[in-house]
Amino acid sequence: MVKIIGEYGFCFGVKNAIQILKENKKKDGKIILLHPLIHNQTLNDKLMEENNAVLYDKNTNISEKDIIIFSAHGHLKEEEEKFKNYHYENAICPLITKRYKFIKENYNNDINYLFLGKKKHQETISFLSFFKFLKLVDVENIMDDLEKLNLKKEDKTFLIPQTTVSYFKYNQVLSYLKEKTNLVSNLPICPHYLKRATDALQILKNEDINKTVFVVCGDKMSSNANEIYNLIKSSCSNLMGYIALTASQLNLSDLKNKKIYLISSTSVSKEEVESLYDELSKL
């Protein structure tokens, strides 16, 4: 038995980025991506080929006919300045755009603004570029980074998480700030990836671990795919699970005679999920 749990396919932010790419395809010029459009390498390669797009590097020549597209995860403020005289489109996720707007409109000099994220993730790099006052709390170094800030109980704090940061690390930092500081407020993590993980947990927690396997359909380098997987494993640690886009990335012998549950990350298409479903249904 193979079953897809809950909604599947792209979230709105990914759909938006892909639509912007397709709308700007040109016959007389190329599209230049400053960073990978979305965190799905297979699909990125396909979209770039179909839409005459290339990934920017220092040797890229830009003509007046070309269009620059900023990725769904954000870009550097310096990049926006560098390319301001060229034709460019911003494919940034609307959820991230709302956060930029919120921070600009509500900034208070009396508050310590903390950004929780992966140090090398494009979203984190972008936020720190646009808002120099943000203090980074790296998910790989949480307690050390928090202690280095030397925050006191009377210090006002505000937490801004990377949208696809770990649910557990997000709550760990929230708890710390509530106990050690005057936490004024916080922004939430992305509700789309969180819902897919919690929907899956509602079903998987009642399954026999010896007869069940779950597969998060996504790129292994994708933050949201990894966090869906981690959230499920945190509650179902003995349940066998994978992150994969195709059956070739799985140990198929582990899946024979098992119930297989598919959970879609937010950066894979419905077609990719359905293709994996079809492959596994033939086992």
- Quick: pLDDT tens for 227-266: 999 999 999 999 999 999 999 999 888 898 999 999 999 9
The C-alpha atoms of residue 190 and residue 209 are separated, in whole angstroms, by 29
DSSP 8-state assignment for residue 75: -
User: What is the gyration radius of the CA atoms in the chain, in angstroms?
Assistant: 21
Is 67:89 a contact under the CB 8 Å cutoff?
A: yes
Residue 183 has pLDDT above 80, yes or no: yes
The string of pLDDT tens digits covering residues 67-104 is: 999 999 999 999 999 998 999 999 999 999 999 999 99
C-alpha closest to that of 48 among 81, 17, 73, 75: 17
d(CA 128, CA 138): 12
Whole-Å CA distances, 117 to 134, 136, 188, 209: 11, 7, 13, 32
Q: Which of 12-16, 27-31, 36-40, 274-278 has the lowest mean pLDDT?
A: 27-31
Q: What's the pLDDT score for residue 253? A: 87
Supply the pLDDT for residue 189: 95
Structure tokens at 157: 């704090």
**Tokens at 275, concatenated:** 């293709």
Q: Residue 26 and residue 223: Cα distance in Å, rounded?
A: 31
